[in-house]
Amino acid sequence: MSRKSGRRLGGFLFVLLLIAAGVGAYLWQRYTSFADAPLAGVEAGESLVVERGDSLPAIVRKLREAGVHQGDLVEWRALARQLGAAGKLQVGEYALEPGTSPRDLLTAMRDGKVVRRRFTIVEGWNIRELRAALARAKELGQETAALDDAALMKALGHPGQHPEGRFLPETYLFTRGDSDLDVLRRAHEAMDKALAAAWERRVPDSVLKTPDEMLVLASIVEKETGIAQERPRIAGLFERRLQIGMRLQTDPTVIYGLGTNYAGNIRKVDLTTDTPYNTYTRAGLPPTPIAMPGADALQAVARPQRGEELYFVAVGDGSGRHLFARTLAEHEANVQRYLQKYRQARAAEAAGSRTQERQ
């Protein structure tokens, strides 16, 4: 080969190298812009479900169906290989929030960072309210709808146990594929632990004989007040009543005994009609809890406040606070204060209604 021909070949190879370098740079830029650019067409609250057996092409097809047309399969495969995610994408539900990039999504699927949802059991709920809330949680699999309370407790592994009060009020995280039974199982275990801890901390001279009695009293305290500072005080008051054989005379137990017949207010006939839960007609604790007590109510019953008070009544100012008394005479005076504030509030409401009507 002549020197001139060699120079021409060298120049040609140099041009080819430049072209190859340019193409490589273009492809790399295209690849990186694909990998790190936010997924187009994604709105807040959207998610992608990876099911057992889904391959990367199947996942990309699901993204296309969701309106995401970013990147071709070659680019998705290249990114999966780079991230070490090829063949390691985990089953579950993954968030498709605005700003999520293909790199973010594949990393989450590689690491199993699935969407975690929340279900909250509210302090003071009864079992009917809890089951109704679970039925509304559409993200949960529904396994308990056809079960009555007895069958429910059997399914949880506690046959014969009354369900009331047995599930700890708390926020529970769950993922796609979990069921209402899964949440209840965790809440039951949490209550068992909270009750055991409270029972271990109880005062030595507690009138309560078993953890179940503690759970019953804690449920009453939970329903009597939403004021944290009042719980130990009310728990101590009920302890003293039980010690001297005085009836608890607490409205929440009467309401619970009425069940679905409760119309929003307690009538005199309700207080005098005997049921297992009427603590005006029966001494001692009712046969079961009346609600789901929180951990604070359990601790208040375990360590009740000392004192001599035997009576309490609402202040009547809408604060939820109570007036406490040692004697019946003091209590009756407090009741009169409550009634006066109640009548004043009703009169103000009536006056306000009349003003609105005139307007």
For the stretch 171-230, pLDDT in tens is 999 998 899 999 999 999 999 999 999 999 999 999 999 999 999 999 999 999 989 999
**CB-CB contact of 282 with 249 (8 Å):** no
Band of pLDDT at residue 21, cut at 50, 70 and 90: very low
Task: Quote the pTM value.
Answer: 0.81
Residue extents of the structural domains in the chain: 38-115, 117-193, 309-359
Residues 87-114 have pLDDT tens digits of: 899 999 999 888 899 999 999 999 999 9
What per-residue string of b and e applies to 239-255 under the rule 16 or more CB within 10 Å gives b?
A: bbbbeeeeebebebbbb
Judged against a pLDDT cut of 50, whether residue 20 lies above it is answered with no
Strands 311-314 and 171-174: unpaired
Strands 171-174 and 117-120: antiparallel
Residues 115-161 have pLDDT tens digits of: 999 999 999 999 999 999 999 998 899 999 999 999 999 999 999 99
Residues 271-313 have pLDDT tens digits of: 999 999 999 999 999 999 999 999 999 999 999 999 999 999 9
Query: Is 3.30.1490.480 the CATH number for 38-115?
Result: yes
Q: What mean pLDDT do residues 43-57 have?
A: 89
